[in-house]
């Protein structure tokens, strides 16, 4: 196995993007193998690498890891982005879980019909501004610190910034009523490793396009139509 982590996924965001973000935040270089054909996917299946017959899959430290949350937890702990004690880890898990819920509304957006995309866009913005962003706004205001947990940069901060930028792609002024999150976004974006990951030419993936959607459908044989919430 390569000494650098190696990521197996499509050439697009999906569930792998948060893993790319966290490795980028940790300043870790990684390699990628993009799935482009059904044959590649079946080879991984037949080789027993995909424990639950799903990607993402990451080769790291002699392991072939699957299940996104397990991969992220391992990376966060390995690179000191998971708090200093059990209480901080619990808070990080809680905030990451909430952010995951919000990002879940966005994950399947590229696969929707044009009509359903407009409905889902409004739904995403509504949920972000009424349920999720107010929580993080209050957390930051109440403790008056630069970061969500323990006044140290953590996985929770990385995940929240990723989510903010994703929602801003749906509505550019979505943070207009959230001054704490505006300051948080600027602050986290200026951290050197994050700033580098946000620069053109990094391994951060762009908004999913039709080519990405077609590749995922073909490789995973997704022939059904998805509906908006």
pLDDT digits 0-9 by tens, 163-187: 999 999 999 999 999 999 999 999 9
* Residue 173 pLDDT: 98
* Residue 66 pLDDT: 95
Closest among 123, 45, 221 to 8, alpha carbons compared: 45
* Residue 223 pLDDT: 60
> H-helix or E-strand containing 214?
helix 210-220
* Residue 1 pLDDT: 46
Q: pTM for the whole thing?
A: 0.94
* Residue 2 pLDDT: 53
Token pair of 191, please? Answer: 């951290």
Q: What is the mean pLDDT of each run of 10 residues along the chain (229 residues)?
A: 86 97 98 96 91 93 96 98 97 97 95 94 97 98 96 97 98 98 98 97 96 94 58
- What does the alpha-carbon distance between residue 77 and residue 89 come to, in Å, rounded to a whole number? 9
Residue pair 222/49 in contact (Cβ under 8 Å)? The answer is no
Domains of the chain: 6-79+198-220 (3.40.30.10), 86-191 (1.20.1050.10)
- Residue 27 CB contacts under 8 Å (≥ 6 apart), including other chains: 193
Phi-psi region of 5 (alpha: psi -120 to 50; beta: other; left: phi over 0): beta
């Amino acid at each position: 196995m390569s000494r650098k982590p190696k990521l197996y996924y499509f050439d697009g965001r999906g569930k792998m993007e948060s893993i790319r973000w966290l490795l980028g935040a940790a300043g870790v270089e990684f390699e990628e193998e993009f799935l482009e054909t059904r044959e590649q996917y079946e080879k991984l299946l037949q080789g027993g690498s995909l424990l639950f017959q799903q990607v993402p899959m990451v080769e790291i430290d002699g392991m072939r890891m699957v299940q996104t949350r397990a991969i992220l937890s391992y990376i966060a702990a390995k690179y000191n982005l998971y708090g200093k004690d059990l209480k901080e880890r619990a808070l990080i898990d809680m905030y990451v879980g909430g952010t995951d819920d919000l990002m879940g509304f966005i994950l399947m957006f590229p696969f929707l019909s044009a009509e359903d995309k407009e409905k889902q866009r409004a739904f995403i913005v509504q949920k972000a501004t009424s349920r999720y962003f107010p929580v993080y706004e209050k957390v930051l205001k109440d403790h008056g610190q630069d970061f969500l947990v323990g006044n140290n940069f953590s996985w929770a901060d990385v995940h929240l910034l990723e989510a903010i930028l994703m929602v801003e792609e749906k509505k550019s002024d979505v943070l207009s009523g959230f001054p704490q999150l505006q300051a948080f976004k600027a602050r986290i974006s200026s951290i050197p490793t994050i700033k580098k990951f946000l620069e053109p030419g990094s391994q951060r993936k762009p908004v999913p396009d039709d080519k990405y959607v077609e590749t995922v459908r073909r490789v995973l044989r997704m022939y059904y139509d998805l509906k908006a919430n």
